[in-house]
Structures are given as C-alpha cells and as structure tokens.
Amino acid sequence: MFCPKCATQNVDGASYCRACGANISLVPQALTGQLPVAEQPQWTDRYSHRKRRREPSIEEAIRSLMMGIAFAIVAIFATKYGSGGSVWGYWLLIPAAMSFAKGLSVLARLRIAKSQNPTFAEPQLNTVRPQDLPAAKTGELMTPVPSVTEGTTRHLGVDATTRKFDSFENQKPS
C-alpha cells in the first residue's frame, strides 16, 4: 500500500505512514469503495433535528457579544439623554440581551464542538524519506538511444559547413 501524501510503500494494514506519519488507515477502504459510515449524534432532543446554517465560529460569537454591548450602551445613553428616553432605553435592552445571549450560545457551541472533535497533530511535511531504490551503477555507460534530431546534431570538434555570402562592398548602389 502506498501513502497518498509521500508515495512511500508501507506494509498492508498499517495505520500511519512510516515516512511522513500521515493517517493511511482508510486508504484500503477508499480503494475498494467501502468507507465507514459516520456516527449519528448520541443525544436526541427536539433541537437536534433542526439544521444550523453555519458551523459556530469565534468571529460570530465576538460579533454578537459586541453588538449586545453596543445596544446596551445605546440603551443607557437613550435612557439618560433622550427625550422620552426611559421608554426607548428599555426597548433597546431587548436586542441587547438577545445579541449578548446569541454570542454566549455560540461560545458554548464552540466549546462543545471542540471537546467532541479532538484535534490531531499534523504530520511533518519535511521528513527525510528512506531510500527505496538501490544506488545506480555509474561505472557502466548506457548505449545512446536513437533520436529524431540525430542528423542535426553538430559536434564541437568538427567545423560546420556554413554558407558564405559576398560582402556588400563589391556591389554598386542602384
């Protein structure tokens, strides 16, 4: 079995490449077309059937938290300095609380996703490959292979036949 990353031949049944460390346990299954089926989530509740549009990201969490903080600051300023501010301030606290809660929920989903999917160390790319081929015998010269351009090859030791043109000095202007 060959490693798809570095093309080193490995023993059948090996889990990792002996040269680069890549995970090759699924290579025989991929060649036969029988990949393992993904496991279903272990929890079943009413929210697991709903599909989320995106995977949770730290950028989304920070954006939602900052929007919640910004709405809260605007609500405080509207309460203090706005005309009829106390009413507007309380109404602006609703989107502030919702944005802040969304940011906290995305952070919680990130933490759960990180604990369920442990990260594996990436194999090193610049590893030394063992020599699989024997050393070439440089004492023997191979016979040259005939070439399509063999007739056009010029050797440096032989003077090439060139055509010589008369110089323009002997000609009269017309």
Provide the mean pLDDT of the chain: 76
List, in order, residues 6 or more apart from 66 with CB less than 8 Å away.
103
Cα–Cα dist 16/1, whole Å: 11
List, in order, residues 6 or more apart from 140 with CB less than 8 Å away.
none
Residues facing residue 2 across a β-bridge? 9
SS3 23: strand
Over the stretch 134-166, which tens digit does the pLDDT of each residue have?
777 777 777 777 766 656 666 677 666 666 666
Positive or negative CA dihedral for 105, 107, 111, 116? positive
Over the stretch 75-120, which tens digit does the pLDDT of each residue have?
998 888 887 767 888 888 999 999 999 999 999 989 988 887 766 6
Parse the chain into domains and list their residue ranges: 1-38, 39-116
Instruction: Look at the pTM and tell me if it is higher than 0.85.
Output: no
